Amino acid sequence: MCLNVLKRLCRGVKNMRRFFTFVLLISTMLLVSISWGEASHYDDLQVLERAANLYISGNISASIDEYLSIIESYPMSQDKAVIEARKNLAAIYEEQGDYIEAARQYETLLILEEDLLSRFSLGVAYYNLGLLDLAESQFRHVVDSRKEVPLFLMREANFFLGKISLDLMRYSQAISYFSQAVEVDPYFALGFFYIGETYFKMGRFADAINYYFKATNIERSLVGIRSRLGVAYFMLGNVDQALTYLRGAIDEFPDDIEVKKLLEQIAEDYPEKFIESEIAYEPPPIKEVVSFATVSVPENTGPDIRSGILPNADEVFFRVGSSFSVELDGKLIYTGEAAELCRVYEDGSALFLEVEERTIPFSTNLKVIPDQYVTIYIHNMERYPGQPWLGYEDRQYRGVLEIIPRNGGFAVVNVVGLEELLLSAVPSEMPASWPMEALKTQAVATRSYVIANKGRYVSQGFDIRADQFSIVYRGVNFEHDRSTAAVLETAGEVLMYDGRVVEAVFTANAGGHTENSLDIWGGDYPYLSAISTERSPSAPPQSPYELKTWLMDRPPSFSFNP
């Protein structure tokens, strides 16, 4: 009996050994599997990072190959790395205009997981492939979703539904969708533009013009809108306005056949519009009576700055608010009375000053000096230099006026104190309604920029230009009490780095993120490093899909303050 018990115990021990051996084997296999899985996942993350870096560096084909290497290893995997690889690959195909491959990736993504952005993107791919029914169903799925839809996605889905309706001539439906898009985002310029387009196709030209202007009030750089405005005004019988915008359209697109044909038709029907000039946007008649602004002298005017207010002119009309003197190379050649109309013009290769009944030829620098602290009134300056179709306006300037002869004409230079110049430049660069601290910051930045760039255009006879090539400076007309206070309270303050005034460049809108100076101008300035302008800064997009999403959204940013 004892022997039998002993045998059983031995067999039990053997079974136990087998059991523990089995457990150990399974555990080892699991550990190896987990380790291999972790290593594999780690490898995938490295590939994703490498693919993103290749994309950012511009090596698109190599980036595609890296993303494909992950997908081909696990074709229908729901692994996070595989999903991310598909999204990035789809975004690249979409960016490259390969909508067939983009659609394939988005279709697979939607099999693996439901995602509204992927569904919207599939709709975009279908739309660009001309599959309007399929595209419409995807966009409808987004706008009808019970999930919380990001505002930018709701805006874009309604916008594309509007475009589909417009393509199918369902005009009322198109207006409804576009209206929903601008309701979601009141600063969506394309939405207003396409409402205008829809009314244009319906023949409701007055409504079309209204919405075209709403679009340009938000985004002035919209391309192609001048031709639409020109045609719309022509259809309403307003030939003068039609000519203004049609000629602007020709300047924008010289080979636009349709615009050329319409201009030829107008020239045939209204030849009197073309008698004096081929350009319809001539300046208006010179005002015979003008009012001069009352100005006071700032306590500190600062160093003189030579601002090129008209870098390339062939004629200019001006008046002075007090008696004045005219000097040629420092010698007095004329004394005039307040408000006398003066004209400087080029005739052939010669320059002339015409005032009262005198015509004075000159070939060197001419200086106009008021006897009192008053303004100089200049007639018919282009609102935006080089864009006469946008109209003309009279402007007034403090300081002294100089005429600098140049090949083919002359430059008009306003010599004025730096602080006086800033009284107009600051509200010309930033709305005077903005917060006072913002205006003070703009004043310091503008002052620093002018000092750092003084003399940049010395070969042309002035220090800086009075437009977007330097700083926008439009004279006394644009001064404002709030911005004036900001200038006076910061008088003399500048930004310094390493003992020098900084190159304080600024822009109307950085688009959410600035650039490094090295990448733009080649000069590496530590104080001009790329930063986010978002109110709550986030990491910049690192992959194609992140970039796609970031570009569609409108993050709260100091670059966009409607």
Query: Along the 562 residues of the chain, how does pLDDT read in single tens digits?
Result: 444 544 554 455 455 555 545 444 444 444 334 333 444 554 778 999 999 999 988 899 999 999 999 998 888 888 899 999 999 999 999 999 999 999 999 999 999 999 999 999 999 999 999 999 999 999 999 999 988 899 999 999 999 999 999 999 999 999 999 999 999 999 999 999 999 999 999 999 999 999 999 999 888 778 889 999 999 999 999 999 999 899 888 877 888 899 989 988 998 888 887 754 444 467 889 999 999 999 999 999 999 999 999 999 999 999 999 999 999 988 999 999 999 999 999 998 899 999 988 999 999 999 999 999 999 999 999 877 777 766 789 999 999 999 999 988 999 999 999 999 999 999 999 989 989 999 999 999 999 999 999 999 999 999 999 988 899 999 999 999 999 999 999 999 999 999 999 998 887 777 677 888 888 877 788 888 888 776 666 666 678 998 888 888 876 666 654 4
The half-sphere exposure of 255 on its side-chain side, counting CA atoms within 13 A, is 0
With CA atoms as reference, report the closest residue to 126 among 135, 116, 138.
Answer: 135
- With vertex at residue 116, the alpha carbon angle to CA 114 and CA 122, rounded to the nearest 5 degrees, is 95
CB 179 within 8 A of CB 161: no
Task: Report the pLDDT value the prediction gives residue 549, as an integer from 0 to 100.
Answer: 87
With CA atoms as reference, report the closest residue to 375 among 301, 462, 476.
Answer: 476
CB 464 within 8 A of CB 505: no
Instruction: Please report the DSSP string for 368-392 in residue order.
Output: EEESSS--EEEEEEESSTT-GGG-E
Instruction: State if pTM tops 0.85.
Output: no
With CA atoms as reference, report the closest residue to 90 among 114, 63, 54, 53.
Answer: 63
Structure tokens at 18: 């087998």
Place of tokens 């993120």: 513
Task: Report the pLDDT value the prediction gives residue 30, as an integer from 0 to 100.
Answer: 40
Amino acid at position 21, single letter: T
Place of tokens 């209206």: 179
CA dist., res. 340 & res. 321, Å (int): 9
Task: Report the pLDDT value the prediction gives residue 250, as an integer from 0 to 100.
Answer: 83
CA dist., res. 220 & res. 459, Å (int): 32
Question: Would you tell me how many other CB atoms lie within 10 Å of the CB of residue 418?
Answer: 23
